[in-house]
Structure formats: structure tokens, C-alpha cells
């Protein structure tokens, strides 16, 4: 007896062919039942457990007849069927098939020609039926895939399977894993540019997501898979067709962000603009602290001749100008978001309350674990003192950290609640933001500065201006911000729709700097000065030149000849 799936049973087959054997005079003690749940088509003859057991019983010499429900129960392919028939004839074993009624051997153990013909015919029918069934199944499977039907396997994060067996977007978190809300949150947080992958994993864990994932590293792997998975934008993958969760704009922004993060690791950015400045040769800049300048990381002497390179630029001038551009973008963001500030604050309050609940739940579970340790040590004496103290100390430390986190979250909640009070107008809110903006102008917190620069500035390009010695000091600096990039793409799209292509737009963040006097200008004539706040964040480390003057060793500092009035 054989069935192909775990859901099927042998009861009907077993009952009827057992009765056939007893009708032929066999007693219960003479009968061995062979029943396997295995494929009759995919497995070879040697891989079939049922056939191997049958051969093992026949080899004992105690059996002389094999009963089967139908021909297809022995095998689905003619090759295996005829191999089994040859084996049975060789060992003088009778074969009895219930449907159709076939007795393969005569009383003298020779083949019955009529039975052999019927057997061959049904073997062909069994194989043909299997081919047709597979073809029907393949067509049905393809049709189900096209319609978004669930065809087995792990449920994908962000979706659930409805009562009719189709993929649906999990907007109400039916699977209790975050649902589509979590997927959108992952993409939105990543696209802000404020989180590395490790920080994003920690942030989501603090909000109560991925509680079934063991470590932060595993959460990082899961996030990386989600951010690269096109199924969330409705693209067919692995035959399945999923409903869309992420729109094309968000997806393209994520792809761009991943490429940028691949070029510049967050931890490797020691300076404010590391890897943001791009050279003509295609390489990024690095900080040369000996000369206190940003320069192309490719050594110009060793590259192929003919390749052009962008000039270097003083670190302090470049970072001061970049900070001015960043604050300009930040100020515009604050003005633009004036009307939606209250909704954003309420969303942040909700997020912080979620973090408080997660931290409190962790404290409750940790206290329970600590009580269990006390019981194991003092009552049941399952732990030695050293092991008990180590485990208890670890739990207490985690509890204290969680309590400190809760206090910090609640403090932030109070700050945001003040901002959304009914009596506070949005003008007052904007004034508060302006005060914060004035504090940021000092630019003392390097980590905060790097975070904001990464959020707003996409790329920086440097070009030389005049020929001659002043080319070392006067440069054209072009900043490409994410907002500028988005607006330019939208304008180009509109132009293409109107049949106009190849039209370039002037970048509004173009400046002209003079590193000799450490100033920046809006125009090429260098008359309209940029009111940037100059920051001395780096010092030249290269030693001054040593010279011998009148027999004495003196240090001559580098100097620059000022241009004449002419």
C-alpha cells in the first residue's frame, strides 16, 4: 500500500486487500502489511522504502504472493513496474492486483499472457495519467501564483493569508510581528539617513519588534534582506505575486541610500565630509590631516595619465561651508514642516510610549527570572554561589539600564507634550525651533553635525577657478542636496513629458571659496559673501620647514604672498 501525501491514510486499501488475501486462504499470521507515505514518481526503485521492505521479506523465503490495491500503488513509471514484475517472476512470487483484477502468474509460476497484456496496458495508463496530472497541477499552480494565491511555505513578514488562501497586506498586524506598519517603518527610518544598520536594529528592538530574533546581528541580516526585497513593491519573485506595500519613490530612495552607505561606512567617517566629496576620477576624498585638507584618496602620481583630478580644499573651509548648507536645509525643513509639526510630535510621543511599554515588560520578565534564580539558589540549591552572583548581577544591571531608559523616554514625552499643548501656537513652536537652530550654529557636537550633514547633503564636487598661483586657493564648490536632487528629477520628468529632453538645471548650492582668506561667496566675482560661521575643527600637523640662517637653525613658517592691487 502507498499514498503520496501525509494527509492521506491506508485504511480503505488495507481493509480490502487484507480481505482478498484471507479469501485466498491466508491466515492473519501469514500476512505482512507494507504501507508507506512516499512518492511513486519522484523516487527511484532503490529509494522506495516500501519496495525495499517487500524485497527483504521475499528474500526470507516465507512469502509467495504480493497483493496491491492497483498498479499505480507499486509504481507510477513503466520502468520501475516492469523491473518489479521481472523480480517477482524470477523469484516465483505471485502478483495480485485488485483494480483491475489481475493475477500475473499461472499455477506453474509462468506468466499469464492475458494478465501481462492487461498489466502493460494499465502501466501505460498509470504513467500517462501521472503526466496529465502533473501538467494540470503545473497549470493550476501557475494560475494560482498569477492570482496571488498562497502555495505553502513560510508566511512573509508584512502579509497574511486570508480564508480563501490569497496573500493580503497585513495592515492590522494579524500575524503579531509588526505587519505592513513595520515594513513601512523600516524603509522610512532607513531613508532618513540617521541610522546605521546596527542602530536601526537597536531602535526597532527597543520598540518591541523582532522579539523572536535572538541577537542584534540577526536582526541586521533580516533588515538587510527586507530592504533589498522587491516583493514589497509588488515585483514577482519566486513565482509568488504579493500585493504592494512600498511605493516606487520610497523604493528608489532606499536603493540610493544603500549605494551611498556602501561607499561610506558610518564608523569609518572620521571627518565631517569623508566620502561626501567626489573627485573627477570617480574616487572619494579623504582627510589629509598633515596638510589640513581634503584630497582625492587616489595618489595622482600612480594613476593612469590623462585622468583628471579635482583639487584639494582646506578642511575647515569645506566643513564650515557644508555646515552652512546643512543648516540652510534644516531651516527650510522647519518652515516647511510648520503645519505638520503637531502630528509629528504626536507620532514621536506614541513611539516613545511604545518604547516605555517594551522596557517595562522587559523589567517585569527580568524580575521573574531573578526570583527563579533566588529559588534555585536558596531553596532548591541548584546553583553555586559564584554562578548565582554572576547571573543576578547581570540581571540587575539590565534592569537598571531599562529603568534609566524609561526615565529618559518619559522626559522626552513631557517635552513633546508641551509642544502639542492647545495653548501653544505653531509660531511659538517655530520660535523654539529657531532657538535650537541658533544653538546648532556653534557646531560643537561633531557627532550631531555628521548626522545632519549625512541627512541633507548627497555629494560635493570641487572645481578649480583661475590659472596660476591663485588656483591653489580659489575653488568652485557645488553641493548636491537630497532635496535639490528630488526637485531636479521632478522638473526633468515634467520636461520629458512635454517632449523636452537633455535640459540641465543650475544647482542652487554653488559657492566660490577663497581658502587664503577663508571666505565663501555666492558669485564667481567673489563680491557677495556667504554669512557662514567659520569653525576651526582641524589643525595642520605637518612641521614647518627648517632652514639655516647665519649659521643658526631657524623655523620658517609657510606664508602666502598677497596679490597686488593691480
Please provide the average confidence, as pLDDT, over all residues in the chain: 78
The structural domain count of the chain equals 2
- CB 486 within 8 Å of CB 250: no
Any domain includes 153: no
At residue 560, the pLDDT reads: 46
Select from 116, 146, 176 the last residue of a domain. Answer: 146
At residue 525, the pLDDT reads: 86
DSSP state of 380: S
Any domain includes 23: yes
Any domain includes 108: yes
Select from 212, 240, 263 the last residue of a domain. Answer: 263
**Which CATH number goes with the domain that contains 86?**
3.40.50.1390
Per-residue pLDDT reduced to its tens digit, 516-547: 888 899 888 888 888 876 777 777 776 555 55
Any domain includes 35: yes
What's the CA gap between 18 and 68, in Å, rounded? Answer: 10
Any domain includes 48: yes
What's the CA gap between 67 and 81, in Å, rounded? Answer: 14
**Residue 87 shares a structural domain with residue 213:** no
The predicted model gives 125-145 an average pLDDT of 67
At residue 423, the pLDDT reads: 40
**Residue 32 shares a structural domain with residue 137:** yes
**Which CATH number goes with the domain that contains 199?**
3.90.1750.20
**Residue 122 shares a structural domain with residue 241:** no
- Grid coordinates in use for 397? 544591571
The predicted model gives 410-432 an average pLDDT of 61
**Residue 175 shares a structural domain with residue 120:** no
**Omega cis (within 30) before 100:** yes
Domain extent at residue 166: 159-263
Pick the more confident residue, 437 or 134: 134
The predicted model gives 61-73 an average pLDDT of 86
At residue 477, the pLDDT reads: 92
DSSP reduced 3-state for 217: helix
Range of lowest pLDDT (160-164, 283-287, 375-379, 536-540): 536-540
DSSP state of 111: B
Per-residue pLDDT reduced to its tens digit, 206-262: 888 887 776 777 888 888 888 988 888 877 666 677 888 888 888 888 888 787 676
DSSP line for 228-267: H-GGGGT--BTTB-----S-HHHHHHHHHHHHHHHHS-TT
Angle at 404 between CA 398 and CA 405, to 5 degrees: 90
At residue 478, the pLDDT reads: 92
**Residue 23 shares a structural domain with residue 115:** yes
Q: How many CA atoms lie within 13 A of 511 on its CB side?
A: 23
Per-residue pLDDT reduced to its tens digit, 177-213: 888 888 988 998 888 777 778 888 888 888 888 877 7
**Residue 130 shares a structural domain with residue 176:** no
What's the CA gap between 557 and 546, in Å, rounded? Answer: 9
pLDDT-derived band at 505, boundaries 50, 70, 90:
low
Range of lowest pLDDT (6-15, 157-166, 180-189, 301-310): 301-310
At residue 119, the pLDDT reads: 78
The torsion angles phi and psi of 475, rounded to 5 degrees, stand at -140, 155
Pick the more confident residue, 19 or 545: 19
At residue 191, the pLDDT reads: 83
- Does residue 557 carry a pLDDT above 60? no
Select from 263, 282, 314 the last residue of a domain. Answer: 263
- Does residue 474 carry a pLDDT above 60? yes
Range of lowest pLDDT (6-15, 63-72, 168-177, 248-257): 6-15
**Residue 103 shares a structural domain with residue 192:** no
**Residue 132 shares a structural domain with residue 219:** no
At residue 40, the pLDDT reads: 62
The predicted model gives 366-395 an average pLDDT of 86
At residue 267, the pLDDT reads: 45
What's the CA gap between 97 and 120, in Å, rounded? Answer: 13
**Residue 172 shares a structural domain with residue 136:** no
Beta bridge partner(s), residue 105: 111
**Residue 11 shares a structural domain with residue 121:** yes
- Grid coordinates in use for 331? 531651516
Any domain includes 204: yes
**Residue 74 shares a structural domain with residue 189:** no
pLDDT-derived band at 561, boundaries 50, 70, 90:
very low
Any domain includes 59: yes
What's the CA gap between 232 and 211, in Å, rounded? Answer: 22
CA 114 to chain centre: 65
Highest mean pLDDT of the ranges 123-132, 136-145, 393-402 = 393-402
What's the CA gap between 419 and 422, in Å, rounded? Answer: 9
At residue 192, the pLDDT reads: 78
At residue 67, the pLDDT reads: 92
Per-residue pLDDT reduced to its tens digit, 92-121: 888 888 877 888 888 877 888 888 787 777
Any domain includes 223: yes
**Residue 105 shares a structural domain with residue 226:** no
Amino acid at each position: 500500500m502507498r499514498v503520496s501525501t501525509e494527509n492521506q491514510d491506508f485504511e480503505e486499501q488495507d481493509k480490502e486487500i487484507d480481505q482478498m488475501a484471507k479469501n485466498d486462504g491466508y491466515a492473519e499470521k501469514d500476512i505482512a502489511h507494507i504501507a508507506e507515505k512516499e512518492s511513486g514518481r519522484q523516487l527511484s526503485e532503490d529509494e522506495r522504502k516500501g519496495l525495499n521492505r517487500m524485497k527483504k521479506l521475499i528474500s526470507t523465503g516465507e512469502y509467495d504472493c504480493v497483493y496491491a490495491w492497483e498498479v499505480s500503488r507499486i509504481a507510477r513509471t513503466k520502468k520501475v513496474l516492469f523491473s518489479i514484475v521481472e523480480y517477482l517472476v524470477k523469484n516465483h512470487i505471485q502478483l495480485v492486483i485488485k483494480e483491475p483484477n489481475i493475477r500475473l502468474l499461472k499455477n506453474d509460476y509462468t506468466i499469464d499472457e492475458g494478465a501481462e497484456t492487461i498489466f502493460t496496458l494499465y502501466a501505460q495508463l498509470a504513467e500517462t495519467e501521472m503526466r496529465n496530472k502533473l501538467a494540470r497541477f503545473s497549470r493550476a499552480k501557475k494560475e494560482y501564483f498569477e492570482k496571488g494565491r498562497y502555495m505553502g511555505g513560510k508566511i512573509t513578514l508584512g502579509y497574511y493569508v486570508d480564508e480563501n488562501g490569497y496573500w493580503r497586506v497585513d495592515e492590522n498586524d494579524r500575524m503579531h510581528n509588526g505587519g505592513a506598519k513595520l515594513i513601512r517603518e523600516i524603509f522610512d527610518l532607513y531613508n532618513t539617513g540617521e541610522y546605521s544598520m546596527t542602530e536601526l536594529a537597536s531602535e526597532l528592538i527597543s520598540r518591541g519588534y523582532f522579539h523572536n530574533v535572538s541577537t542584534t546581528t540577526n536582526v541586521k541580516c533580516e533588515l538587510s534582506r527586507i530592504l533589498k526585497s522587491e516583493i514589497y513593491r509588488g515585483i514577482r519573485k519566486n513565482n509568488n505575486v504579493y500585493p504592494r506595500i512600498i511605493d516606487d519613490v520610497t523604493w528608489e530612495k532606499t536603493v540610493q541610500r544603500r549605494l551611498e552607505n556602501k561607499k561610506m561606512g558610518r564608523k569609518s567617517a572620521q571627518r565631517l565630509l569623508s566620502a561626501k566629496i567626489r573627485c573627477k576620477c570617480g574616487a572619494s576624498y579623504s582627510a589629509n590631516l598633515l596638510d589640513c585638507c581634503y584630497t582625492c584618496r587616489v595618489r595622482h602620481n600612480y594613476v593612469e595619465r590623462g585622468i583628471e583630478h579635482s583639487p584639494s580644499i582646506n578642511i575647515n573651509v569645506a566643513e564650515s561651508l557644508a555646515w552652512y548648507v546643512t543648516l540652510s536645509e534644516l531651516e527650510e525643513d522647519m518652515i516647511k514642516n510648520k503645519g505638520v509639526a503637531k502630528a509629528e510630535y504626536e507620532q514621536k510621543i506614541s513611539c516613545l510610549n511604545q518604547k516605555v511599554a517594551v522596557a517595562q515588560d522587559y523589567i517585569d520578565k527580568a524580575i521573574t527570572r531573578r526570583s527563579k534564580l533566588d529559588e534555585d539558589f536558596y531553596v532548591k540549591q541548584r546553583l553555586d554561589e559564584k554562578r548565582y552572583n554572576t547571573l543576578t548581577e547581570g540581571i540587575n544591571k539590565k534592569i537598571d539600564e531599562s529603568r534609566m531608559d524609561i526615565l529618559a523616554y518619559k522626559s522626552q514625552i513631557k517635552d513633546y507634550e508641551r509642544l502639542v499643548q492647545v495653548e501653544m501656537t505653531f509660531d511659538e513652536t517655530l520660535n523654539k525651533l529657531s532657538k535650537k537652530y541658533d544653538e546648532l550654529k556653534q557646531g560643537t557636537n561633531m557627532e550631531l553635525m555628521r548626522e545632519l550633514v549625512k541627512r541633507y547633503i548627497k555629494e560635493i564636487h570641487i572645481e578649480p577657478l583661475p590659472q596660476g598661483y591663485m588656483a591653489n586657493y580659489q575653488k568652485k564648490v557645488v553641493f548636491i542636496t537630497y532635496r535639490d536632487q528630488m526637485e531636479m528629477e521632478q522638473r526633468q520628468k515634467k520636461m520629458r513629458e512635454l517632449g523636452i529632453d537633455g535640459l540641465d538645471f543650475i544647482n542652487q548650492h554653488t559657492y566660490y571659496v577663497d581658502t587664503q582668506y577663508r571666505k565663501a561667496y555666492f558669485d564667481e566675482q567673489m563680491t557677495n559673501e556667504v554669512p557662514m560661521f567659520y569653525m576651526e575643527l582641524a589643525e595642520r600637523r605637518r612641521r614647518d620647514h627648517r632652514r639655516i640662517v647665519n649659521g643658526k637653525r631657524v623655523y620658517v613658517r609657510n606664508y602666502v604672498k598677497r596679490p597686488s592691487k593691480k
